Structure 1
Amino acid sequence: MHDYFEIICMRLSHVTVTLDDGKQHSGIAQNIVKLDNNEHLVLLENNKILNIPLNKTETLEANNNPIPKHNFKVIFN
């Protein structure tokens, strides 16, 4: 799981993340940080920084990136 997030951050990929409560967030992956002993994806969404807990992520989709091979979808759990 962690490797997918590292890759999207390295590439500054455009992603859509679906959380286990059904909420979706789309933006540019920036970094992975540790907050309260949990890893979070730092996502730039509409010029706002969001910290999205990796352990609450159900789906990660890299989309609309200029290199087609950099677009993928992963379903966790």
Structure 2
Amino acid sequence: MAKIITCDAHDYFEIVCMRRSQIKITTHSNKKYYGTAIDINKMNYQEVLKIQVNTQYEYEYVLLTDIKKLEAIGNKSAQHNFLIQL
């Protein structure tokens, strides 16, 4: 059976991508990713979060089902900064 995430959690991922928010992601294996949320893509029939890191053309792709914590940090508007535990 495939892992799934809640609709509420998916909405948060869409919001950070729409705003191009600065984010910090922590996976269930405690690996951390920092960068700008770009888009949600499908890879091998699974949804991944595309994160721009370091340079304009360097990206990381993280399975949405592997993410245990999403932090929107360092964004200009204080309302755009938040933390959710999945």
Q: How high is the TM-score relative to the length of structure 1?
A: 0.96
2:83 is matched with which residue? 73
2:42 is matched with which residue? 34
Query: Superposition pairs for residues 47-58 of structure 1, below 5 Å?
Result: 47=55, 48-58=58-68
Percentage identity across paired residues of the two chains: 36
Q: Whose strand fraction is larger, Structure 1's or Structure 2's?
A: 1
Unaligned runs of 5+ residues in structure 2 are 1-8
Separation in 2, partners of 1:45, 1:53? 16
Pick which of 44-53 and 18-27 moved more: 44-53
Q: Name the SS for the 1:4 alignment partner.
A: helix
Aligned-pair Cα RMSD in Å: 0.5
Matched pairs, number: 76
Report the CA distance between 1:24 and its aligned residue: 0.3
Q: Name the SS for the 1:46 alignment partner.
A: coil
Runs of 4+ in 1 over 4 A off after TM superposition: none
1:60 aligns with 2:86: no
Match of 2:31 among 23, 29, 41: 23
Separation in 2, partners of 1:60, 1:37? 22
Unaligned runs of 5+ residues in structure 1 are none
Quick check: which has more Rg, 1 or 2? 2
